[in-house]
Amino acid sequence: MQWTPARPPQSARAFQVRLSGPTNCSGRVEVYYGGVWGTVCSSNWDINDVKVVCREVGCDPAFDAPIQAFFGEGTGPVWLDNLGCSGNESSLPECSHNGYRYQTCLHLQDAGAICEDLKVRLSGPTSCSGRVEVYYGGVWGTVCDQGFDMNDAEVVCREVGCEAAYGVRSQAYFGQGTGSIWLSDVDCLGSEKNLSDCSHSGFGNNLCAHINDVGVYCEATFKKVIKIQVVRNSTVDLNKPAVVEGLLRQLNQSLIDQGVDEDVKVKWMKPSNGKIFQKREGPR
């Protein structure tokens, strides 16, 4: 279909912007011009352009600028191309562009906008352990275990409101998820506030399958205090640091040998006098 250039908008209503997608704040960018709804080409499309779109549709914050018809191909004219927003404009017409006309872009280049933060949750047996899932562009998906380590787990545990991470589980340990695999090759320092602050291969840019879904354990554990009695048949001082450390290693190994998960930790509780072992008075 051939579209003829329309006259410049005569009022604010003559130019409108909307998002066509899974949510009100994520979708394909569509503009209303000359009485016809059309799309925007993703050539030179970036986060500054998205900032203007998000502000115009009443959403916040601008999070990402998907390209190449990420939210599907639109219909009608491609009204705008080569937008050059600084991010401070109140409306797209204030940004530089090639003019209002049917662009040479195809709809497979339609631009999108995501105006909502990445969300993270754990899908598993508890609120602090499970498969890592992220919400991007209105859809929940998973994270690939490729390159995922304890630094990445620290960020996840912090973001979901749990304590320190103490385990990473690969190969869909908590079951295979569904939908998109949004992240792979995540590389956090461990100090980031959000998983979105870490480097990665790009949203949806991976060759992983759901058998590679990663999971984490966060330190939300039950602590149990038990007393043990050691019968000493020598003059060795049980409270010597080397002896205490050796006994603790033996206890941990004994638990592992009996099938207890390796993530279970055994630690000594020190009484006020600093001695782990106290001499028992009276008959045994």
**Domains of the chain: total:** 3
Instruction: Based on the fold, state whether residues 103 and 125 are members of the same structural domain.
Output: no
Instruction: Based on the fold, state whether residues 137 and 109 are members of the same structural domain.
Output: no
| Residue-level pLDDT at 94 | 92
Retrieve residue 52's tokens. Answer: 């203007």
| Residue-level pLDDT at 153 | 97
The answer to pTM > 0.75 is no
Instruction: Based on the fold, state whether residues 61 and 109 are members of the same structural domain.
Output: yes
Whether 28 is in a domain gets the answer: yes
Instruction: Based on the fold, state whether residues 233 and 162 are members of the same structural domain.
Output: no
Instruction: Based on the fold, state whether residues 202 and 125 are members of the same structural domain.
Output: yes
Query: Measured between alpha carbons, how far is residue 7 from residues 30, 85, 99, 119, 155 in Å?
Result: 18, 22, 11, 42, 51
What's 159's domain CATH number? Answer: 3.10.250.10
Whether 284 is in a domain gets the answer: no
Q: How buried is 247 (Cβ within 10 angstroms: 0-12 exposed, 13-18 middle, 19+ buried)?
A: middle
Q: How buried is 248 (Cβ within 10 angstroms: 0-12 exposed, 13-18 middle, 19+ buried)?
A: middle
DSSP the chain: ---PPPPPPSSGGGEEEEEEEEETTEEEEEEEETTEEEEEB-TT--HHHHHHHHHHHT-----B---TTTT----S-EEE-S-B--S--SSGGGSB-S-SS--S--GGGB-EEE-S--EEEEEEEETTEEEEEEEETTEEEEEB-TT--HHHHHHHHHHTT---EEEEE-TTTT----S-EEE-S-B--S--SSGGGSB-S-TT-----GGGB-EEEES--------------SS--TTSHHHHHHHHHHHHHHHHHTT--TT----PPP-TTS-SS-PPPS--
Rounded CA separation 167/6 (Å):
60
Rounded CA separation 105/80 (Å):
9
Q: Which residue has the tokens 């992983």?
A: 208
Q: Which of 55, 87, 114 is the last residue of a domain?
A: 114
Residue-wise pLDDT tens for the chain (284 aa)? 333 334 444 444 578 999 999 999 999 999 999 899 999 999 999 999 999 999 999 998 999 999 999 999 999 999 999 999 999 999 998 999 888 776 678 999 999 999 999 999 999 988 899 999 999 999 999 999 999 999 999 999 999 999 889 899 999 999 999 999 999 999 999 999 999 999 999 999 999 999 999 999 997 555 566 777 777 667 778 778 887 788 888 887 887 777 666 666 777 777 777 777 777 765 55
| Residue-level pLDDT at 266 | 77
Instruction: Based on the fold, state whether residues 145 and 232 are members of the same structural domain.
Output: no
Instruction: Based on the fold, state whether residues 46 and 127 are members of the same structural domain.
Output: no
Rounded CA separation 99/131 (Å):
47
Instruction: Based on the fold, state whether residues 189 and 249 are members of the same structural domain.
Output: no
Instruction: Based on the fold, state whether residues 203 and 239 are members of the same structural domain.
Output: no
Chain CA centroid to CA 155, Å: 9
Provide the domain limits for residue 231: 224-278
Whether 4 is in a domain gets the answer: no
Whether 2 is in a domain gets the answer: no
Whether 193 is in a domain gets the answer: yes
- The CA R_g of the chain, rounded to the nearest whole Å, is 29
| Residue-level pLDDT at 7 | 43
Instruction: Based on the fold, state whether residues 29 and 86 are members of the same structural domain.
Output: yes
Q: Which of 54, 88, 114 is the last residue of a domain?
A: 114
